[in-house]
């Protein structure tokens, strides 16, 4: 009986390969995925400006496509969208970044004061709760925190020695990336036609996967940009009305936190409430409580109203799948892997959905013959 079962298992494997290997569409899809993954993984360090330009041009292409058939030719739509992109880039670089940088420097300069205040509060714990914690344990904890801060400061100082190289690379990116974005949008058909000659002719399955991924990613990216803007604007207005220090810095962190689902909202809680606590303290009237209530309301509106409204037609992934994608692609490509974790997870889902499957009867027969 065991030999018969083994032969049945081998027959199932043989049928599986006979079913898929001769399928030219499956082979084309596999070649496209493998070639694209190897190209990005091996050349990401060298051609990062090119990859960034292609991604930005792809994101802006949706605006060009919407403006093109309505009231202007494609070239005029490309120029209009590119001008809007440069305007937004200029606002970020010359308005938003200086304010955030100034508030970041102010916050860093106050770190010794914040550490001393926290140390004073912590040293009061043994007197308040002597049965839970001792003075020796508090000193040990504070020494460990001071050592960690010292190592972090040394890392910042050593990293500043490479700031010139980083500044030079940023200047090169600032000129190269917008230029390549413009030409990627302007000559889209020409570039796609040139790359298409290197791919197999039978691309029906690959095109079907791309159409699904394109629709899902377009909805996701459009909704994510709107969500980031709304959360940033609402947070900045709220924090400014409450006279919270570093309101622009905290608002930017609030907006960027939605880029990393579930994890970002948790991480941004600590700086917001930490700054409010240092500014007013638990005994500073109702200001600290107002910040907590306002922060909770903003997060609730984002989760209950904005996310269902903006992403009703976007990617439909289970929270576990999203967390796994963040961990996997973040470990593989760092920050950019985390940033594009949802689109990459959508690609994986589309491939698994479109991939041909064996018949249900074969699967049931195989399962019934397992020992």
- Report d(CA 295, CA 317) in Å as an integer: 27
**What residue segments make up the domains of the chain, in order of their start?**
32-195, 204-356
Least confident of 6-20, 251-265, 275-289: 6-20
SS3 state at 288: helix
| Mean pLDDT value of segment 211-217 | 75
Sequence-separated (6 or more) residues with CB below 8 Å from residue 103: 246, 248, 249
pLDDT at 327 over 50: yes
- Report d(CA 355, CA 351) in Å as an integer: 6
**How far is it between the farthest Cα atoms of the chain?**
79
Tell me the CA distances in angstroms from 13 to 24, 136, 337, one per residue in order.
19, 65, 35
163: confidence class by pLDDT, cuts 50, 70, 90: low
pLDDT at 153 over 70: no
| Mean pLDDT value of segment 174-185 | 88
pLDDT at 158 over 60: no
Give the model confidence (pLDDT) of 95-132 as tens digits.
898 998 888 888 877 777 777 776 776 677 667 766 66
361: confidence class by pLDDT, cuts 50, 70, 90: very low
370: confidence class by pLDDT, cuts 50, 70, 90: very low
| Mean pLDDT value of segment 195-208 | 72
- Report d(CA 242, CA 233) in Å as an integer: 14
365: confidence class by pLDDT, cuts 50, 70, 90: very low
Higher pLDDT, 190 or 211: 190
Give the model confidence (pLDDT) of 342-357 as tens digits.
777 877 777 777 666 5
pLDDT at 318 over 90: no
Among 296, 272, 65, residue whose Cα is nearest residue 188: 65
Which pLDDT belongs to residue 278? 81
Give the model confidence (pLDDT) of 54-77 as tens digits.
888 888 888 888 777 667 788 888
Tell me the CA distances in angstroms from 341 to 283, 320, 334, 344, one per residue in order.
42, 13, 10, 5
Tokens linked to 55 = 């991604």
First to last CA, the chain: 9
Which pLDDT belongs to residue 322? 75
Determine phi and psi for 286, rounding to 5 degrees: -95, 5
């Amino acid at each position: 009986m065991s030999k018969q079962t083994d032969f049945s298992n081998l027959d199932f494997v043989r049928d599986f390969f006979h079913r898929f290997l001769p399928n030219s569409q499956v082979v084309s899809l596999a070649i496209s995925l493998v070639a694209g993954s190897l190209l990005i993984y091996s050349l990401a360090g060298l051609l990062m400006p090119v990859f960034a330009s292609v991604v930005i041009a792809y994101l802006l292409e949706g605006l060009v496509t919407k403006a093109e058939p309505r009231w202007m030719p494609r070239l005029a739509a490309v120029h209009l969208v590119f001008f809007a992109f440069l305007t937004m880039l200029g606002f970020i670089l010359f308005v938003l970044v200086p304010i955030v940088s100034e508030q970041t420097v102010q916050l860093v300069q106050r770190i010794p004061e914040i550490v001393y205040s926290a140390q004073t509060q912590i040293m009061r714990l043994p007197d308040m709760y002597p049965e839970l914690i001792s003075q020796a344990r508090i000193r040990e904890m504070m020494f460990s925190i001071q050592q960690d801060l010292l190592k972090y400061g040394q890392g910042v100082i050593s990293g500043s020695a490479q700031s010139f190289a980083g500044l030079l690379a940023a200047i090169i990116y600032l000129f190269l990336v917008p230029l390549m974005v413009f030409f990627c949008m302007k000559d889209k058909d020409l570039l796609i036609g040139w790359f298409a000659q290197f791919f197999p002719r039978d691309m029906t399955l690959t095109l079907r996967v791309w159409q699904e991924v394109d629709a899902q990613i377009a909805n996701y990216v459009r909704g994510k940009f709107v969500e980031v803007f709304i959360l940033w604007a609402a947070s900045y207005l709220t924090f400014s009305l409450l006279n919270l220090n570093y309101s622009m810095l905290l608002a930017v962190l609030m907006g960027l936190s939605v880029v990393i689902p579930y994890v970002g909202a948790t991480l941004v809680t600590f700086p917001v409430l930490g700054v409010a606590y240092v500014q007013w303290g638990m005994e500073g009237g109702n200001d600290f409580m107002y910040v907590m209530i306002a922060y909770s309301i903003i997060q609730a509106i984002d989760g209950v109203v904005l996310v269902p409204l903006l992403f009703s037609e976007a990617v439909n992934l289970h929270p576990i799948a999203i967390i796994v994608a963040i961990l996997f692609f973040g470990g593989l490509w760092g920050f950019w892997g985390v940033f594009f974790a949802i689109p990459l997870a959508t690609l994986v889902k589309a491939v698994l959905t479109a991939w041909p499957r064996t018949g249900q009867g074969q699967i049931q027969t195989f399962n019934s013959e397992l020992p």
